[in-house]
């Protein structure tokens, strides 16, 4: 079995007075696509932010390829080869598309070349000099994913990449993620869209009230699916 790229143990996080994560524990192995599923407010996005070091306060243990990161500042964590695609996409209005694409510094060798990125996302190649936020929602999402593929980071944290997008774009993003998996990227995916997640992930962690309450493998789709539906039913 492949070694864990990301190990989270007893992770707690706070926003000011409010205690959001209550002992999250899970791990992601090399080359896996793993999802965090759960209702709104369960703590999925906060978990991603805590891994990147951008929540105000966190305790516990987060190891990236064996390196303890819980005391590191965000820019040191990113340099370990981990990249984040935030829920709000984070495309910069004061940068054009090309500048947005080239913004994240290369943190490791082996990132995708510009040609490979444009092969993956042909729409972007035509709009390089547009203002970043003038792109459609789907194009912004592609840009947000594309720019982290350039950096050589092999562990990707994708926060709801399909949120609010048209079905045809969701399919394109699904194909992209599968392709990245084939190329050996390790992906931690936060999703509300369970049907999307079920088709591409190896394992699912169910998050409730700031902790992992269940783990469901892709193999046990039959009985597992019923459990999932029960967890996610509103």
Q: Of 41, 66, 74, 184, which lies in the binding site for other proteins, with binding defined by CB under 8 A?
A: 74
Residues 25, 207: contact at Cβ < 8 Å?
no
CB of 54 to other proteins, least distance (A): 5
By CB under 8 A, residue 75 contacts other proteins:
yes
What's the Cα-to-Cα distance from 193 to each of 33, 68, 69, 70, rounded to whole Å?
Answer: 15, 31, 30, 30
CB of 90 to other proteins, least distance (A): 5
DSSP per-residue letters across 59-89: EEEEEETTEE-TTS-HHHHHTTTEEEE-TT-
Helix (H) or strand (E) holding 204: strand 203-208
- How far apart are alpha carbons 51 and 189 in whole angstroms? 13
By CB under 8 A, residue 107 contacts other proteins:
yes
Stretch that binds other proteins, among 37-45, 72-80, 190-198, 221-229 (CB under 8 A): 72-80
Q: Of 77, 169, 180, 206, which lies in the binding site for other proteins, with binding defined by CB under 8 A?
A: 77
By CB under 8 A, residue 102 contacts other proteins:
yes
By CB under 8 A, residue 83 contacts other proteins:
yes
Q: Total residues contacting other proteins (rule CB under 8 A)?
A: 24
- How far apart are alpha carbons 68 and 186 in whole angstroms? 18
Contacting residues for 5 by C-beta, under 8 A, at least 6 apart? 28, 29, 30, 64, 65, 154, 155, 186
What residues from 52 to 71 belong to the interface with other proteins (CB under 8 A)? Answer: 52-54
Residue 217's nearest CA partner among 230, 203, 229 is: 203
CB of 163 to other proteins, least distance (A): 17
By CB under 8 A, residue 90 contacts other proteins:
yes
What residues from 181 to 220 belong to the interface with other proteins (CB under 8 A)? Answer: none
- How far apart are alpha carbons 80 and 157 in whole angstroms? 13
User: Which residue's CB is nearer to other proteins, number 47 or number 172?
Assistant: 47
* Residues lying near other proteins in the complex (CB under 8 A): 52-54, 73-75, 77-79, 83-84, 86, 90, 92-95, 99, 102-105, 107, 151
């Amino acid at each position: 079995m492949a070694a864990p790229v990301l190990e989270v143990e007893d992770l707690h996080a706070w926003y000011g007075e409010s205690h959001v994560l209550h002992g999250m524990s899970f791990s992601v192995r090399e080359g896996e696509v793993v999802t965090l599923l759960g209702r709104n407010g369960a703590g999925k996005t906060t978990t991603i932010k805590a891994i990147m070091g951008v929540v105000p306060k966190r305790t516990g243990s987060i190891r990236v390829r064996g390196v303890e990161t819980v005391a590191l500042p965000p820019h040191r964590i990113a340099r370990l080869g981990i990249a984040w695609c935030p829920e709000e996409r984070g495309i910069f209005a004061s940068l054009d598309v090309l500048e947005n694409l080239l913004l994240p510094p290369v943190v490791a060798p082996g990132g995708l070349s510009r040609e490979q990125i444009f092969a993956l996302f042909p729409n972007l190649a035509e709009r390089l000099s547009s203002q970043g936020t003038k792109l459609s929602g789907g194009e912004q999402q592609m840009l947000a994913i594309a720019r982290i593929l350039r950096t050589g980071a092999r562990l990707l944290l994708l926060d709801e990449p399909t949120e609010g997008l048209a079905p045809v774009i969701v399919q394109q993003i699904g194909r992209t993620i599968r392709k990245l998996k084939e190329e050996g990227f390790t992906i931690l995916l936060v999703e509300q869209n369970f049907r999307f997640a079920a088709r591409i992930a190896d394992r699912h962690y169910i998050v409730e009230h700031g902790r992992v309450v269940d783990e469901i493998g892709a193999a046990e789709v039959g009985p597992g699916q019923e459990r999932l539906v029960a967890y996610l039913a509103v």
